[in-house]
Amino acid sequence: MEPGSWLSALLLLLLLLPLSRVARFYAKVALYCALCVAVSVVASAICLLRNGGRTVDNMSIVSWLMRSFKYMYGLRFKVKGQEKLDVDRPCVIISNHQSILDMMGLMEVLPKRCVQIAKRELLFLGPVGLIMYLGGVYFINRQRSNTAMTVMADLGERMVRENVPILPVVYSSFSSFYDTRTKLFTSGTITVQVLDAIPTSGLTQADIPTLVDTCYQAMRSTFFHISNMPQENGATAGPAVEPAQ
């Protein structure tokens, strides 16, 4: 679709905002995607001029720009335990995945020199893929399990070798203000809870299933607690790994 067509469609949605909740939902999602592209273009230019190419230091620029999104959407982040991320040694940050808004939450707590892992498909999203590349993101081809396993195996070996702790970060449910099923997208507050570090010292490959379950259970319990939701309702907090150095 031509840029003019995209603009016309977005303007039409904006005109329908007072009339339709569905139109408001799609207009806000479209604006969010457009903002991501625009910020990626601006950030890429700044990163190239400032740092000259690919480096994890570029993520601080992206983080600063994306944190402005919350003001446009009336979103507020309440971060608890931020000081736990201020560590002087390598660690692995894992967080729960919910929607396209996850990136906003991540940028609220992203430590300096954080190296992220993402699926390879994101590399081909034009300016978005470019800024992720410039930000030092490691891309995993999920269609080639051996490549993905090599990256994760290297990470696991480093965790054991350097006693890298795991730092779970949990975002409360977005369902009170963002719901794709009911086409809800309003203002709201997200609680971000940084949990205590989970040590990996002395663990072997045989301990990985237990370690994964420990992380999952801790995050799941926290998710329900900070979301004020009963655990019986079946909601989940599926973690996605993002290594930090």
Angle formed at CA 95 by CA 83 and CA 186, multiple of 5 degrees: 95
pLDDT of residue 180: 93
Radius of gyration for the chain, computed over Cα atoms and rounded to the nearest angstrom: 19
User: Between 180 and 233, whose confidence is greater?
Assistant: 180
User: Between 150 and 68, whose confidence is greater?
Assistant: 68
**pLDDT mean across residues, the chain:** 81
Q: pLDDT, tens digit, for every residue of 56-75? A: 889 889 999 999 999 989 99
User: Between 130 and 87, whose confidence is greater?
Assistant: 130
The dihedral region occupied by 87, where left means phi > 0, alpha psi between -120 and 50, and beta the remainder, is beta
d(CA 19, CA 71): 24
pLDDT of residue 186: 92
Using 50, 70 and 90 to split pLDDT, how confident is the model at 7?
Answer: low
The pLDDT of 26-44, averaged and rounded, is 91
pLDDT of residue 177: 94
- Which segment of 133-142, 169-178, 231-240 scores lowest on mean pLDDT? 231-240
220 vs 135, 153, 169, 211, 212, CA distance in Å?
Answer: 30, 25, 11, 14, 12
Domain count, the chain: 1
pLDDT of residue 237: 45
pLDDT of residue 2: 53
Using 50, 70 and 90 to split pLDDT, how confident is the model at 241?
Answer: very low
d(CA 211, CA 44): 38
Q: E strands within 116-235?
A: 117-119, 138-140, 166-171, 178-179, 184-185, 188-194
The pLDDT of 21-41, averaged and rounded, is 89
Q: pLDDT, tens digit, for every residue of 174-219? A: 999 999 999 999 999 999 999 998 887 777 777 778 888 888 899 9
Q: Nearest to residue 73, comparing CAs of 13, 31, 23?
A: 31
Q: Tell me the residue range of the domain where 104 lies.
A: 3-244
d(CA 192, CA 210): 25
Give, as one character, the DSSP assignment of residue 116: P
Q: Nearest to residue 90, comparing CAs of 113, 57, 109?
A: 113
Using 50, 70 and 90 to split pLDDT, how confident is the model at 103?
Answer: confident
The pLDDT of 112-129, averaged and rounded, is 83
d(CA 36, CA 44): 12
pLDDT of residue 130: 92
pLDDT of residue 76: 94
